[in-house]
Amino acid sequence: MIIGTAEIKLYAPWVHSLKEKRREVKSLVAKTRNKFNLSIAEVSEQDVHQTIVLGLSCVADSVSHANSVIESVITFIESNTEAEIIDISREIR
């Protein structure tokens, strides 16, 4: 069993309230969870308006499959939000 994790930090300059941020995060998390059937949530910086930090994890049968899923999720997030990805950290165990 291989576990792939990633932390994705996004910058959303148009967000001016926590309400706007929550709406963006909720939409992005729901779309990603539905498409890929993995665990994803906002993991830090919850009180900072323009910063979104998402953590995700997946279970796979090989390292290459875990990498592929994480790469697909990153591409999906890039195409489904106007926020800019500013940092990505990955770990495969």
Please give the average pLDDT of every successive group of 10 residues along the chain, which has 93 residues: 95 92 94 92 91 95 93 94 93 92
pTM for this entry: 0.88
Q: Are 42 and 53 in contact (CB under 8 A)?
A: yes
Sequence-distant (6+) residues with CB within 8 A of 40 are 29, 32, 33, 54, 55, 56, 57, 73
pLDDT for the residue numbered 9: 97
pLDDT for the residue numbered 46: 85
pLDDT for the residue numbered 56: 96
pLDDT for the residue numbered 40: 95
pLDDT for the residue numbered 37: 86
